[in-house]
Every structure is written in C-alpha cells, then in structure tokens.
Structure 1
C-alpha cells in the first residue's frame, strides 16, 4: 500500500500541548472501513479523521474512535477544517460533509468555528438522585432537569451546582451503562457548571465494560450545550467561554455563541507534526 500521509493537531488548544489531540489522514480514498478502524486504533486518540472527496462540500470527513465510527464530532470537524484549508486551498469559509450532515466552518481571528445543525432533544429518564449517584456526587449537586441533546451526536447535558462539583465527579461505570446510554448504545456523560465567563465542563465515555475515559475537549458536546441553552433559555443570546478538562491538566478552551437560534462552537487549532504510515 502507498504511504499514507497524516497530520497531528491539538484542537481547542491555547498552548502547544493543550487541547484535544487529533490525527487527520490527508487522503483516505484507498482505505476500507476496516483499514480506517485499524488506523484509528493504532493512533488510540479520542478520534482520527479521514479526508475524502465530496460532491457537496470542500471535503467529506469520516470520524473514527479506536472502537467505532461517529457521525459527527466537534474537535475532528475543526481540526479537519485546518487541514482541508491548507491542503486543498479551500480558503477560510467552506463546508465539510459528514455522516451527521454538512457542517459550515470558517476561520476568524485565528479560531476555527463550526455552525451546528438544529438539535433534537428528550428528557433523561434518570432522577436527580440517580444521576448524582452515577457521578459520585451528593443529590444537591444536580441542577434542574437533565436532557439528551443531539446536534449530530446524542449526549446527556447535566448541569451541576458549582465548578467544585464538576471537578469532584467520579463516574460509576455500572451506573453510566444504566443511565447514560444514548440511542446508539454508547454510554456518555457531559457535565457543566456556570461560571462568570461561561461554563466549566467535563466529558466522560465508556471504553469497555468497566472502563471510563475522559475527553479533553468535546466540540459536539459544546454544540449540544448551546442547543440546551436554546431549549432552556429561549431567545436569550449567549457568548461564552467553555473550559474543559481543567481537572485532568489537559485544558481546552472552546467558544460558544448562541444567537437568533443559531449555535456556533470555536477554538484554536495547532498543527503539531506530520508523518507517513505504511504497511
């Protein structure tokens, strides 16, 4: 097989080694689904993306975690946008085709921004006490009803009473499997608390029967947070900084703008290195 070029990037990064790592395969045209999954497992990052030709956008992008394909995710969208812009000379405003839809992206003031699709929502079935137990928190840590939101990837939005509660989360795998399994069968949990500048957040997902991982920066969850804001706050505009993964010393900084029914998520992208795969 010919050598396959890739780039390593950090997305939502304010420093060289901050943000959420991403591998982008510059041309995935010659790879099968099994090849893509194997490459993603080799990199073992939250996600690896594969650029492909598109008839409706600047590029088509497929997103793989080490174990499954995703229809949409935020940090792969913005990291891929950086590579598409540089590699295909696509400019600073274009669209990317994904399984979850066609996503408009643009670069302004050094930040890439995506425009989220309209969201579906439903109430979580778990009670506040059950959600608190799932997160290893006291019952009074949960604020208001929790919702499933879906701008392309369905995730639970759980508001907590304070930043301290966000940092204190210790999810219980058996309870996550019971209460936070989305319609695709994937247990995921996004928690957040309000701050003076916006929100502090964390995102957890299960990587095995009893194994929980934490994501450094989750753009799809931030988009769903914007959709949650629209659902719960109506037409009230929002211009927020969303900080994530402070608790695990891998800080990500996301911008979240909600206005006139539209949700935009942004962040800085740093290209860390380039290389080739061959087998």
Structure 2
C-alpha cells in the first residue's frame, strides 16, 4: 500500500544542518513488525508513524521507533512529526497541537517568527517538556564508569543527574561547552547506557552570544552512536537546570557541532511549562510502499 511520507530536518534554521526524522503520515493498519522493519531500514535515529488518536483531546497519535525498538517519547521526532502532520492538512482542535504518544498527551505550540544574530529566524515548533520518569543523582560508581568511557577525568564532571522522560537519559554536566565538543567516547565501553553531556559557554559562541550551552547525546544501545540533535535529552536537561537554578528562563543550546551539524534548541520556561523548540524543514516529500 502506498502511504504519504516526509523526511523532516529538525532543530536547524537551514536544511540538512539539524537532525532528520522519517515520518510515515498514513500509518493506520501497519503492524508493529512493519513499523520496526521500516525504522531499521531508514537507519535514522528515529522513524515515526502518524495514526488516528485514541485519547480524547488528542489531535493525532504518534509511534516512535529507533533502529533497535520503540520509544514512549522523543523530542525531535515530536516536532518533525507535528510539522509533517500540519503540512499534510492536519488542523488542531484547539490553540495547541496535542500529540498522543507513549508518555501521554504532549502539547506542541507554534511560535512566531523571530530573529537572531544571523538575521530573521524561521517560525518554530515547541513541545512542553514532559515530567521526568526518573530523576536525581546518578550513582557514583556508574558516573565513574561512564566518565572513563567518555575519556574524561573525574574533575571534568561537575554533576550527574538522571533526566529520563522517554529514553533513560543520564546527563553529565562538564566544566565547559568547549570540553563537550572535544569528548571522544568509547562506544563499546558505553554499552547500553543512554548518556547526555552538557557544558556551559562563558560568553556564547562567536556571532551567537545567545547560545548558553553545548549538548551531545550518545545512545549506542538504541543503535544510535551519537544523535545529532536531541529534543528529549534537551528537555530533561532543561528541567534539571531550571530546577537547580543553573540556567536562565530562556536560553539556546547548541548540539551537533562535533558532527558538523548546526542544531539550535530553544528553551523557554514560562513558569508553567518548559518549552523546547526549534525550526523544522521538509527535505524529502513523497510516498513509500509498505
């Protein structure tokens, strides 16, 4: 059967600079095995499937697969899938888009055009960070194991917290954003751990003073050695940083630098929700036969 398909670049202001997600727009009737097989075939960090909602109040239901299995939530697939749903003619019932997925209902809002140091910025989509399923300090022995796998000294790690909101992310705060970019992990030593690292920039990036942090994400157990730009991790980190007073109410995180990407994740805490957003662009549009 022929189904509509889009490949959407997420978290970058220009095409092919962010993180792609494959979206099957007409996924009704596909089996779990068919979805998993297609996700393995695309070999992207995530492939998603848009389905009719089952929960009252939802605009659509989303299933999210990595090459290794299904996730209850992921950030860049949420934004890319919402983009594809809107482009395919989807109309939200209310002021916000309401996505149904494994963690429940996730609000998504459309943010207006803005500007940054490079000039006019495109409109963005942003999701409300879901509650953490797991939080708190990471055990010292596990921190030591992961620190060694990342090729770091213990003095390089300022703090380590669980920030799991879908994937089982642990996040290590390093002493600087520059150090985050320099890390060369041993993927075999990381094993099945899902690890994020974050570091602050003292005065932003050249030409981008608004960039406050550098982020990287490693998930070899999910078939993704390094994810270019990661919404779920950034959401979990934002919840942690805002809770502990380590970040302002609005900031931008860079991710993908080490992979020659230019991901920019915009975080805003409005006092009720923490919104995690970025630009979205359709790069491939067509049909697939599944």
> Do they fold alike, i.e. is TM over 0.5?
yes
What are the residue-to-residue correspondences of 1:31-50 with 2, within 5 Å?
Answer: 31-50=30-49
CA deviation profile, 1:220-255 (whole Å, cap 9, x unmatched): 001001111133228x75211110010110221110
Write the distance in 1 (CA, Å) between the matches of 2:243 and 2:190.
24
CA RMSD of aligned residues (A): 2.0
Q: Which residue pairs with 2:119 in the alignment?
A: none
Query: For 1:105 and 1:20, how far apart are their aligned partners in 2?
Result: 18
- Describe the superposition over 1:119-150 as per-residue Cα deviations: whole angstroms up to 9, x where unpaired: 24132113554442121012221113x11112
Q: Which moved more, 1:190-199 or 1:211-220?
A: 211-220
- 1:75-224 equivalences under 5 Å are 75-91=76-92, 93-109=96-112, 110-119=123-132, 120-127=134-141, 129-144=144-159, 146-177=160-191, 186-195=192-201, 196=203, 197-207=211-221, 213-224=225-236
Gaps of 5+ in 2: 113-122, 204-210
- TM-score under structure 2 normalisation? 0.86
Tell me the residue number matched to 1:71. 72
Cα distance between partner residues in 2 of 1:53 and 1:6: 16
Show the counterpart of 2:280. Answer: 269
Q: 1:162 to 1:27 in 2, by over 3 A?
A: same
Q: How many pairs are equivalent?
A: 266
TM-score (norm 1): 0.89
Counterpart of 1:18?
17
Q: Secondary structure at the match of 2:39?
A: helix
**In the alignment, is the contact (CA less than 8 A) between 1:12 and 1:75 conserved in 2?**
yes
Measured in 1, the distance between the counterparts of 2:60 and 2:80 equals: 13
- The CA deviation at 1:79 is 0.5
Distance in structure 2 (CA, Å) of the matches to 1:81 and 1:100: 16
Contact preservation (8 Å) 1:198, 1:241: yes
Determine if contact 1:137/1:165 at 8 Å carries over to the other structure: no
Q: Which runs of 5+ in 1 are unaligned?
A: 178-185
Aligned residue in 1 for 2:61 = 60
Secondary structure in 2 matching 1:30? coil
